[in-house]
Chain A
Amino acid sequence: GEEVAQTPKHLVRGEGQKAKLYCAPIKGHSYVFWYQQVLKNEFKFLISFQNENVFDETGMPKERFSAKCLPNSPCSLEIQATKLEDSAVYFCASSQGDAQDTQYFGPGTRLTVL
C-alpha cells in the first residue's frame, strides 16, 4: 500500500495480559521501525527491521517485548504480561533506505493497560 497501516487502532488490556500490535509498511520500503510515545511527545525508539532481519534493537526492553517481520505478513510487536507503564501510543514507520531515508509513520495503536 501507499501508507503505513497499523491495527488495531485501540487496544485495552488488563495488567498481565498479552498485547499484539500489527504494522504493514509501505510497499517497497525495506526498513520498518517501532516507536513508543508516552504522554507528552517523548518518542522512544524500540526496534527496527531491514526486511525480515532485526536491524537495531537497542531500544527494546529486554523482557516482555518482542517483534517480528516475516515474509508476506504484517510486522508485529508483542508485549507479554503488560504493565501499567506500557500504556502509550505505538507508532510504526517505514522507509526506503535511500539517501534521504525519510520515515513515514502509521496512524499508531493506542494501548491502554488497566
Chain B
Amino acid sequence: RKEVEQDPGPFNVPEGATVAFNCTYSNSASQSFFWYRQDCRKEPKLLMSVYSSGNEDGRFTAQLNRASQYISLLIRDSKLSDSATYLCAVNPSGNQGGKLIFGQGTELSVKP
C-alpha cells in the first residue's frame, strides 16, 4: 500500500461543476498536509495547506479527517483555468524540515 494515495483520474467536468478529490495517508503521525497544483509538468504550486479545522479559500475548501486518515479538496464553480493535476502531499514525520510524500496526482479537465 502506498503511503499517500489519491483518487484515480482523470476527472472530466463541465464548467461550473463542483468536484471533490480525496487523498488517504497511512502514517497516523502525519502532521502537515497540503494540496498542490501542477500544470503540464511545471513545478507544483501550493494551492492550500490543510488545517485540522478545515479551511476555505474562495472556491476551494480543504478538509482533514484524522480518524479516517484522509484529506479532501472541494472545488466549487469550476473554471476552465482549474484544469491541472492536483497533488496531495503529506509530511509523515510530523517534524519541521520533513520530506513530503506525494500522491500520484489526479488530473482534472474542465470543459466548456
Residues of A that sit less than 8 Å from B by CB: 30-31, 33, 35, 37, 40-43, 45, 48, 50, 55-56, 58-59, 89, 91, 93, 95, 97-108
Taking a contact as CB atoms closer than 8 A, the residue among A91, A93, A97 that contacts B96 in the complex is A97
- Do A48 and B97 touch (CB < 8 A)? yes
Cβ of B61 < 8 Å from any Cβ of A?
Answer: no
Chain B proximity of A67: nearest CB distance (Å): 14
Contacts of A95 in B (CB 8 A): 97
Contacts of A93 in B (CB 8 A): 100
CB < 8 Å A-B pair total: 65
Taking a contact as CB atoms closer than 8 A, the residue among B32, B43, B91, B99 that contacts A91 in the complex is B43
- Do A91 and B97 touch (CB < 8 A)? no
Q: Is the interface of B mostly helix, strand, loop or mixed?
A: strand
Cβ of B104 < 8 Å from any Cβ of A?
Answer: yes
- Do A43 and B102 touch (CB < 8 A)? yes
A59, B99: Cα distance in complex, Å: 10
Given contacts A41-B104, A43-B100, A101-B32, 9 further A-B contacts (CB under 8 A): A31-B96, A40-B105, A43-B87, A48-B99, A50-B97, A56-B98, A58-B99, A103-B34, A108-B43
- Do A101 and B98 touch (CB < 8 A)? yes
- Do B49 and A102 touch (CB < 8 A)? yes
Cβ of B41 < 8 Å from any Cβ of A?
Answer: yes
Known contacts: A97-B97, A101-B98, A105-B44. The answer to whether A41 contacts B49 by CB under 8 A is no
Known contacts: A100-B49, A101-B96. The answer to whether A106 contacts B43 by CB under 8 A is yes
Known contacts: A41-B104, A101-B91. The answer to whether A91 contacts B98 by CB under 8 A is no
Contacts of B43 in A (CB 8 A): 91, 105-108
Can you give 10 contacting A-B residue pairs, CB < 8 Å?
Answer: A41-B38, A41-B85, A43-B87, A95-B97, A100-B49, A103-B89, A104-B46, A106-B43, A107-B42, A108-B41
